[in-house]
């Protein structure tokens, strides 16, 4: 298994190729690679990202089949099922790097800001469960900037939500916390720009 620093560099290099539109022509996505993965997988990083169709992790990091263990959920929130998936990747597959990948103009964060500004009774319980998990990370921002509208506070709210999710993974599981203390796991936060295609890593060692 590769080190966290090497895994991070591999992601950064892949994103640079994506942005420059110089993607690897030898990307491992063909029949030979598919056949090689039948009996097992050895992904080098776990990505907990948003379900937004504009942010497919394998593409924005220019990776192939079997390279990334990807978990996608609206708002890149952390719930028990996401924690369990990260535990599986770290404990069973030996993945040592976890990236919480948010993105600009996140609809789930925007919906949360709108809900805090104008509560509604029409939201489904399932959507409300997503909003409720984002709420604690963005509420302090709204309280500290009562005159700000949702559009102006969005960039800060997106970053706050990413940081909160990364911290939940670091401290919300005995299994993950133990691996982190043993230097066998690293959790970092990152934001993908819909406008430029660049992934900025900003939260983590």
pLDDT tens string for the chain (205 positions)? 789 999 999 999 999 999 999 987 666 788 888 998 999 999 999 999 999 999 999 999 999 999 999 999 999 999 999 999 999 999 999 999 999 999 999 999 999 998 888 777 766 788 888 999 999 999 998 888 877 777 889 999 999 999 999 999 999 999 999 999 999 999 999 999 999 999 999 988 6
Q: Is the dihedral of CA 5, 205, 71, 93 positive or negative?
A: positive
pTM over 0.85? The answer is: yes
**In the chain, what are the domains?**
4-203 (3.40.1050.10)
CA dihedral 31, 71, 56, 188 (to 10 degrees): -120
């Amino acid at each position: 298994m590769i080190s966290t620093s090497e895994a991070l560099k591999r992601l950064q290099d892949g994103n640079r190729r994506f942005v420059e539109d110089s993607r690897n022509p030898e990307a491992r996505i063909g029949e030979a690679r598919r056949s090689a993965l039948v009996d097992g997988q050895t992904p080098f990083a776990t990505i907990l990202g948003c379900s937004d169709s504009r942010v497919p992790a394998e593409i924005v990091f220019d990776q192939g089949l079997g390279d990334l263990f990807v978990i996608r959920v609206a708002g890149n929130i952390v719930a028990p099922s996401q924690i369990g998936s990260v535990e599986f990747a770290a404990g069973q597959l030996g993945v040592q790097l976890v990236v919480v990948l948010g993105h600009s103009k996140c609809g789930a964060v925007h919906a949360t800001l709108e809900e805090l500004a104008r509560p509604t009774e029409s939201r489904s319980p399932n959507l409300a469960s997503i909003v409720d998990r984002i709420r604690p990370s963005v509420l302090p921002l709204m309280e500290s900037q009562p005159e700000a509208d949702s559009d102006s506070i969005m960039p800060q709210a997106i970053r706050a939500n990413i940081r909160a999710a990364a911290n939940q993974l670091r401290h919300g599981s005995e299994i993950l916390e133990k691996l982190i203390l043993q230097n066998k796991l690293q959790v970092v936060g990152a934001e993908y720009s819909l406008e430029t295609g660049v992934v900025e890593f900003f939260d983590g060692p």
